[in-house]
Homo-oligomer: A and B are copies of this chain.
Amino acid sequence: MAELKDKLILVVDDEARMVNFMRMNLELEGARVASASNGREALEHAREDMPDVVLLDIMMPGMDGFETLRRLRQFSQVPVLILTAKSEEDDRVRGLELGADDYIAKPFSHRELVSRIRAVLRRHYAAPPVPQTMVKVDERLSIDFARREVLVAGQRVNLRPTEYRLLYHLVQNAGYVQTHEMLLTKVWGPEYREESHYLRLYITYLRQKIEEDPAKPKYILTERGVGYRFVDFENKA
């Protein structure tokens, strides 16, 4: 399990209260915290301190979070979580497209903050470089991608080719939101980027086949305005 202990986390936000709130929460978990109140400082810190994770506020005066992220990505692959207002769905999509790893919507709880950071750390430092075959999600659901076999409550369910590819991409990124565009691009091809219709339909099909109650999905979660996220089944703490 990925631990926050002794990890260096760079918090970037122009509001001192928010920085303090996060610092408190993160230090409670044993993490070290560096902070910056604008984009320029953030880039300096990122270069010099080599943080393990960056928490980046989008709404900042001067160089905003997007621009900061874009420049950061020119020299660093450090995992980045962006902080957005609850309602700003477009900001999340844009951030993810610029290379953010995930987002946290303000306001957020201690639990949410820590769990997202853990997930991102796990992927970056413990992630298998080879794609997973044979995934056991929980007692009810397991998938063998090499054999194209999906077992739900002991029963084999038959997935169609597109359903299969969609599930594959969702599960390979379990715990991470995948935007509509990402999924459409990977499953149907780049020329389908705008056709979110297809995606909704195939999400429905998949849920009907693998969810216990398709109306209350436990595996394939909707991220309104952004995309879908397969449940973070490896991070149950």
Contact = CB atoms under 8 A, between A and B. Distances in A.
A32 interface: no
A185 to B, nearest CB: 11
Contact of A191 (B148, B189, B190): B148
Interface string A135-147: 0000000000011
Contacts of A191: 147-148
Interface in A71-119: none
A163 to B, nearest CB: 14
Number of copies: 2
Contacts of A190: 146
Q: Which 4 A-B pairs have the closest CB atoms?
A: A148-B191, A148-B189, A147-B191, A146-B190
Contacts of A189: 148
A72 to B, nearest CB: 24
4 contacts: A146-B190, A147-B191, A148-B189, A148-B191
Contacts of A147: 191
A148 B146 CA distance: 27
Interface in A129-170: 146-148
Nearest to A162: B161
A191 B147 CA distance: 7
Contacts of A146: 190
A27 B191 CA distance: 51
Nearest to A191: B148
A168 to B, nearest CB: 11
A184 B190 CA distance: 24
